[in-house]
Structure 1
Amino acid sequence: MTRHALRRDPRAHWVLLSLTLAVVATALLFSGYGRHEIAATAAPTARCPAEPEVPFANGPVMRQDPKTGGVRAARMPASTVALTYDGGPDPAWTPRLLDLLKQHRAKATFFLTGTRAAAHPDLVRRIKEGGHEIGSHTYTDASLADLSGPRVRLELALTQNVLAGTAGIGTHLLRLPHTEGAASLCDDMGEAARRAIGDGYVVVVADEPARTPDQGAVRQFTGSAAAVAETGRLLSADRGDQVTFTTVGAGLGLPGTMYDVGTAAEWKGAAVVRAQQASRAFADGMTWFLLAAGAITAARLLMLLTVARVHVKRVRGNRSRRRGALRVPPLTDPVSVIVPAYNEEAGIEATVRSLLASTHEAVQIIVVDDGSTDRTFEIAEAIGDRRVMVVRQPNSGKAAALNTGLAWAHFDIVVMIDGDTVFEPDAIFRLIQPLADPRVGAVSGNTKVGNRQGVLGRWQHLEYVIGFNLDRRMFDVMECMPTVPGAIGAFRRDAVVGVGGVSEDTLAEDTDLTMALCRAGWRVVYQESAIAWTEAPSTVRQLWKQRYRWCYGTLQSMWKHRGALVERGAGGKLGRRGLTYLLLFQTVLPLLAPLVDVFALYGLLFQGAGQAAAVWLAFTAVQIFSAVYALRLDREKFEPLWTLPLQIFVYRQLMYLVVVQSVVTALMGNRLRWQRMQRTGSATDVLEDRRAMSA
């Protein structure tokens, strides 16, 4: 899929995401299959008779009789011992064993497990180059007696692919896992041996321990340090030069037990090896990433709660100082309020009237109708209050509307709000108080969701309280506030003009402006007591469009102000604290969250549901604790908490996917237009309910 195609068709983003998740799932499944996490098998539990059944009793090496098509068994000649090792290769014991065999000029047959061979291809090649013989021990050391026909074929085929990819060979030798002597080839295991022999394999088991080297024998060792020690004792025994230690094929004179494969088979095998290595590396990496992400998230939560407490103490201390210092009166300077509006007929009247009801009497209200196609202009003009000025302009976007309002503003303090925002009566007064400090250039208010009916509304309410407001408390204390929300913010007019007004470079004009003010040396603070009610999206489609624009605009602003990372002073605080925080917690972690979710689902299905459930319950408990604390700080009821567990499963995933689409859009160079949601005028729902209860 080309970049041009991605830019031309936004749906292609989801095709790309789906393909990525499919690749991730495939990698996890392949890794899990090789680690027995998927379709794991246990050793057979069948009780075998003391004596093996014919023809397995005729010898430990069995192959198909070319004449009869039955099973032909053979034994090692006298004074010939075939040394055989199961499992591996292993970086701990295989090199030691190879050195020991070389020292005694002995040869052996190694029955390798496909997953281990793929993990250590250099050892496979060393075994081959040492003149030793290689056989198959299946791909995952699975008991073939317990497997279906397709799974058996997969086990054997994958092992052949790995041997072709690592050493350029194929093998006819097979040792069935969980077998020892011929007596173990009974019932289902015996049937598995017959099928393998019928498919052209030479099945090798071990001779009974009573058979001496002088008689000729096949010795079986399970790869380990103990096997190395036992081999050393066997090779060092004083028998003169009468016993030959060799491979199965050489001892019986079997031709072609190993054979060279073609180039195509080598390429196919190499692809399988690389796929397994990549899948294992990915699974291991995801495990470490999940642990790191969990630790970082826990550290972030601890920091948010700690800093929130610091912010609360600071606010209370400021209030106490103001009460005890009568010589510093509250700030009562006149304020210009700019209300950009585009098709806001549903809520514009409630917005303006809430401003007119402000306890801060010196207020100029500037409604900038940005080319609305509904009755926004007529409704605002009909309010008929001398404090309200209605300006009309062709549709130019929110930033242009704010700049128009800025040009008409009469006063040095400017409050910018959205056309659907409803202010508390004391919100303007409280909002502007931090501007008494000449270092402060902008103040963020406390935005609350007005339409909380339904699960979606409650989810957004929790997000505003837990996420946005806790973050703003932290940004305030750390002096790196990246965003004064468009719903409620106060600014020094000369500070905004000094940075060139409200920029139209990004879709997040509020974030862009705030970052510009920080880089210009102004402090930006959070005033939790200045409360405004906003109308949140009431449908998933509207929510997606809103957050898509927010996220994309934030990415634009971060890129535009990336120079703050190397600046000093206030700009450096924004860059190294604020931008780094946004990059890590609002971009990188959410961007990787779908992969983590796939990995978590994999763990739930294949690595133990109990452990996964325990982790999820612990995570949910921490989230509930932080939610309780945040709601308490904002003096909100705890009733919406019942929706929090479901929010983790549904809403959070939706927000993660918004980040994914926004990042892909930005990387592809697409440009979004300014979008607005359909208003219903429900921002005052909670406010009216509270007033009714008070009455």
Structure 2
Amino acid sequence: MNTPARSRITAVLPAHNEVGALPATIASLRAQTIPPDRIIVVSDRSTDHTVEIAEAFGVEAMETVDNAARKAGALNQALEILEPEGFVLIMDADTQIVPRFIERALQEFQDPDVGGVGAVFRADPPTGYLELCQYLEWARYAEQIERTGKTFVMSGTAALIRWQALKDVESRFGSIYDEQTITEDMRLTMTLRACGWQVRSPVECQSTTETMPNVPTLWRQRRRWYLGALQNITEMGWNRVTRRYIGQQVMLALSVILMTTLIGLTVASYAVNGFLGVQPFWLVIGAVFAAERVVTVWDQPWPRRLFAALVIPELIYALILQSAYVGAVWQKLNSSQGEWAHLGTPHKTTEEV
């Protein structure tokens, strides 16, 4: 399992109608201090000029054949034709990575137990309320990773993975990417860990990806994420790997119950008394919560810190996410497999939910 000083690196970019975003993604790969040896764009049922754009920018392009398994199926078809040597960089076609991403990730592979290194993703500069909430959410996630050193999910936006680790997953689970899940990055993280590999996400390995532009697309995206997590946990069962993921689901469910209870009690109090009383105890609790909101985004410009201090705007955002979680639980209870849709923006269309 020892990592050579410089092994072959192949970048694989699954893409569906990515004409608008693909040039910037390819440029970020070519700007790497240690560039990949090979770049392959995997066009999955594209109806635009994704293949032509890829070839025009001097990279290889392939098209999937009879793929009904979305991103996971596209990746499996691409990985089947590659030589299993060195590392493979799996990267979304609408994402850019920092110039030292590969160089920094390779440092982690000096530990022979590391099977994959994922990105710490950040959003494009926000221009509106919903984008700002997502931006701050991801900034806090990056801060948590830096503080704890723990990787919950090896991000599907960009991840450098050891080929030997992928072959171990294939040998044990029958395929590299599980084509039945709608959150293939989470499932791969879990199967890598089940095979004894570690995954890491150093904060220097940053990727930039787009946020959801409106509430319906955000809601569907997060419902898919939550449903995928529930499916992965159910299918893999209780074991040493899934314990942490089951714990997360318990905390999510608890947060929904507590928020519902708080709103219910507030409405009932107003209905009975005709006004909302202010209690010193809850003022203190609110102040502590507001301080936590601000401290965890302290590296941001002061207008964003002020936004976090207001609490209420992000509380509304949290309610949107919690409602998506409830939607995912309902889908799971009804044995829904979930679905993907297409997000249309002025410059691109991509699979997102």
Q: Does 1:399 align with 2:66?
A: no
Q: TM-score with structure 2 length normalisation?
A: 0.85
1:653 counterpart residue number: 319
Pairing of 1:322-401 with structure 2 (within 5 A) = 332-384=6-58, 388-394=59-65, 395-396=67-68, 397-401=70-74
Letter matched to residue 579 of structure 1:
Y
| SS of 1:462 mapped into structure 2 | helix
Q: What SS class does the counterpart of residue 359 from structure 1 fall into?
A: coil
Query: Structure 2 vs 1, CA of residues 412 and 623 (structure 1 numbering), >3 Å: closer, same or farther?
Result: farther
Instruction: Give me the whole-angstrom Cα distance separating, in 1, the residues matched to 2:72 and 2:25.
Output: 19
* 2:279 corresponds to 1:609: no
2:102 partner letter: I
Tell me the secondary structure at the aligned position of residue 669 of structure 1: coil
Q: Does the residue aligned with 1:554 lie in a helix, a strand or coil?
A: helix
Residue 173 of structure 2 corresponds to none
Q: Could you tell me which residue of structure 2 aligns to residue 508 of structure 1?
A: 183
Residue number among 512, 517, 535 corresponding to 2:210 in the alignment = 535
Identity over aligned residues, as a percent? Answer: 27
Task: Give runs of aligned pairs for residues 552-571 of structure 1, distance below 5 A.
Answer: 552-564=227-239
Output one character per residue of 1:403-423: Cα deviation in whole Å (capped at 9) or x when no partner: 223234444212212121011
- 2:89 counterpart SS class: strand
**Match for 2:71: what amino acid?**
K
* RMSD, matched Cα: 2.6
Alpha-carbon distance between aligned partners in 2 of 1:678 and 1:563, rounded to the nearest angstrom: 39
**Aligned counterpart, 2:112:** 438
How many aligned positions are there?
335
Gaps of 5+ in 1: 1-328, 565-571, 683-695
Report the Cα offset of residue 652 of structure 1: 0.7
State the Cα distance separating 1:451 from its structure 2 match. 4.4
Deviations 1:318-347 (A, max 9, x none): xxxxxxxxxxx9954332221111122221
| Structure 2 unaligned regions, length at least 5 | 171-175, 349-353
* Aligned mate of 2:252, from 573, 577, 586: 586
User: 1:640 aligned to 304, 313, 327, which one?
Assistant: 304
CA distance in structure 2 between the aligned counterparts of 1:638 and 1:464, rounded to whole angstroms:
17
Distance in 2, Cα, partners of 1:509 & 1:537: 19
For residues 648 and 362 of structure 1, do their structure 2 counterparts lie closer, same or farther at Cα, with a shift above 3 Å needed? Answer: closer
CA contact (8 A) 2:121 2:208 kept: yes
Instruction: Give the match for residue 127 of structure 2.
Output: 453
User: For residues 652 and 610 of structure 1, what CA distance do their matches in structure 2 show?
Assistant: 24
Note closer, same or farther for the CA distance 1:432–1:601 as it changes in structure 2 (3 Å cut): farther
Please tell me the residue identity of whatever aligns with 1:506.
Answer: T
The answer to whether the Cα contact below 8 Å between 1:594 and 1:657 also exists between their aligned partners in 2 is no
Distance 1:331 1:585 in 2: 42
**Cα drift, residue 662 of structure 1:** 0.5
1:427 aligned to 2:101?
A: yes
Amino acid at match of 1:575: T
In 2: Cα distance, 1:677 partner to 1:620 partner = 37
Deviation, 1:465, is 1.5
Deviation readout 1:276-298 (Å, 9 max, x if unpaired): xxxxxxxxxxxxxxxxxxxxxxx
Contact residue 11 and residue 36 of structure 2 kept, 8 A: no
Per-residue CA distance 1:142-189 (angstroms, 9 max, x = gap):
xxxxxxxxxxxxxxxxxxxxxxxxxxxxxxxxxxxxxxxxxxxxxxxx
Local SS of the residue matching 1:464: helix
Structure 2 equivalent of residue 491 of structure 1: 161
Taking structure 1 as the reference length, the TM-score comes to 0.45
> Relative to structure 1, is the Cα distance of residues 380 and 470 closer, same or farther in structure 2, using a 3 angstrom cutoff?
same
Kept in 2, the 8 Å contact 1:443–1:484? The answer is yes
Q: Aligned pair in 2 of structure 1 residues 587, 638: CA closer, same or farther (>3 Å)? A: farther
> Is the contact between residue 72 and residue 178 of structure 2 (CA under 8 Å) also seen in structure 1?
yes
* Cα distance, 1:508 vs structure 2: 0.6
1:499 counterpart SS class: helix
Counterpart AA for 1:540: V
Larger radius of gyration: 1
Kindly indicate whether the alpha-carbon contact (under 8 Å) linking 1:412 and 1:493 is maintained by their aligned counterparts in 2.
yes
- Contact 1:462–1:627 under 8 Å retained in 2: no
2:242 aligned residue: 575
Contact 1:548 1:662 in 2 (8 A): yes
Q: Residue 204 of structure 2: SS of its match in structure 1?
A: strand
Equivalents in 1 of 2:328, 2:124: separation in Å?
27
Tell me the amino acid that sits aligned with residue 157 of structure 2: A
Three-state SS of the structure 2 residue aligned to 1:416 is strand
- Please state whether the residue corresponding to 2:339 is helix, strand or coil: coil
Give the superposition deviation at 1:537: 0.7
**Deviation of 1:638 (Å):** 3.9
Offset at residue 523 of structure 1 (A)? 1.2
Query: Following TM superposition, by how much is the alpha carbon of 1:678 offset from its aligned partner in structure 2, in angstroms?
Result: 2.4
Residues in 1 aligned to 2:257 and 2:19: alpha-carbon distance in whole angstroms: 37
Counterpart residue type for residue 37 of structure 2: V
Instruction: Tell me which amino acid in the other structure corresponds to 1:498.
Output: D
Alpha-carbon distance in 1 for matches of 2:329, 2:122: 27
1:669 aligned residue: 335
Q: Deviations over 1:459-490 (max 9, x none)?
A: 00111122x3345457744xxx4411111222
1:598 maps onto 2:244 in alignment: no
Q: What is the CA-CA distance between 1:513 and the residue it aligns to?
A: 0.7
1:106-164 deviations in Å (ceiling 9; x for gaps): xxxxxxxxxxxxxxxxxxxxxxxxxxxxxxxxxxxxxxxxxxxxxxxxxxxxxxxxxxx
Are residues 618 and 435 of structure 1, via their aligned partners in 2, closer, same or farther at CA, if it must alter by over 3 Å? farther
* Mapped contact 2:86–2:163 kept (Cα < 8 A): yes
- Could you tell me which residue of structure 2 aligns to residue 631 of structure 1? 297
Residues 383, 657 of structure 1: alpha-carbon distance in 2 compared, 3 angstrom cutoff: same
SS at match of 2:156: coil
Counterparts of 2:103 and 2:19, CA distance in 1: 27
SS in 1 for 2:48: coil
**CA drift at 1:651:** 0.7
1 or 2, which has the higher helix percentage? 1
Query: What letter is aligned with 1:546?
Result: Q
Deviation at 1:679, TM superposition (A): 4.2
Amino acid paired to 1:485: S
Q: Secondary structure at the match of 2:338?
A: coil
Higher relative contact order (CA 8 A, sep 6+): 2
Q: Deviations over 1:25-69 (max 9, x none)?
A: xxxxxxxxxxxxxxxxxxxxxxxxxxxxxxxxxxxxxxxxxxxxx
The residue that corresponds to 2:192 in the other structure is: 517
**Secondary structure at 1:380 match in 2:** helix
Tell me, in whole angstroms, the C-alpha distance in 2 between the residues paired with 1:680 and 1:358: 28
Paired amino acid for 1:383: F
Q: Is the 8 A contact 1:600 1:612 kept in 2?
A: no
How big is the shift at 1:356? 1.2
Assess if the C-alpha contact under 8 Å between 2:117 and 2:200 holds in 1: yes
Distance 1:579 1:381, change over 3 A: same
